């Protein structure tokens, strides 16, 4: 008998080999995403990891700003994962550049939303090595801010 579940249900995915270094990832009965070790037919697994971090923080940023009644009109994140020159070539640092657009969004609130997403709310971030440096910059309505260390 299993113990009652507390909190969110576990994340369950299925990975199906598509030949060569191609793998299709999906939730049971859900849509499929392709990961490709060569980066030809989809992001590489490491690109997927860096993208998952960016997307996870984006969910939180949009929710935080929506609660402040300053919803985001557009959001794009440039995510760069520095890699070790070794085997395995692990991610050694991440740089996130948030391009946020929206009427009435205050820079301090935008930077605070990103900071909270990166340091407190993103479950992908909390699943990574706590010592992994994550830097971020917020470009709000086309105006750049300062580069900040988020973790």
Q: Where are the domains of the chain?
A: 11-43, 45-149
- What pLDDT does residue 149 have? 76
Omega into 88 within 30° of 0, i.e. cis?
yes
- What pLDDT does residue 8 have? 85
**pLDDT confidence band for 135 (50 / 70 / 90):** very high
Q: Does the pLDDT at position 2 exceed 60? A: no
**pLDDT confidence band for 118 (50 / 70 / 90):** very high
Closest CA relative to residue 97, chosen from 138, 65, 64, 59:
138
- Give the fold, CATH level 3, of 11-43: N-terminal domain of TfIIb (2.20.25)
Q: Does the pLDDT at position 131 exceed 70? A: yes
What's the mean per-residue pLDDT of the chain?
93
Rounded to whole angstroms, how far apart are CA atoms 39 and 78?
17
Q: Write out pLDDT tens, residues 5-15.
A: 678 889 999 99
- What pLDDT does residue 3 have? 57
Closest CA relative to residue 119, chosen from 136, 107, 102:
136
Q: Does the pLDDT at position 146 exceed 90? A: no
Closest CA relative to residue 13, chosen from 29, 36, 2:
29
As a CATH number, domain 45-149 is 3.30.300.20
- What pLDDT does residue 147 have? 76
């Amino acid at each position: 008998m299993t113990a009652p579940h507390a909190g969110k249900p576990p994340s369950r995915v299925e990975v199906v080999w598509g030949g060569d270094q191609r793998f299709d990832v999906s939730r049971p009965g859900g849509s499929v995403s392709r990961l490709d070790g060569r980066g030809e037919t989809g992001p590489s697994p490491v690109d997927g990891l860096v993208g998952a971090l960016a997307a996870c923080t984006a969910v939180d940023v949009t929710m935080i700003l929506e609660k402040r009644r300053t919803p985001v009109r557009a959001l794009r994140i440039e995510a760069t994962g520095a890699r070790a020159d070794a085997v395995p070539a692990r991610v050694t640092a991440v740089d996130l550049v948030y391009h946020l657009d929206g009427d009435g969004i205050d820079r301090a609130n935008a930077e605070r939303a990103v900071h909270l997403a990166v340091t407190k709310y993103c479950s992908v971030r909390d699943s990574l090595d706590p010592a992994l440096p994550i830097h971020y910059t917020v470009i709000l309505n086309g105006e750049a801010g300062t580069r900040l260390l988020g973790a």
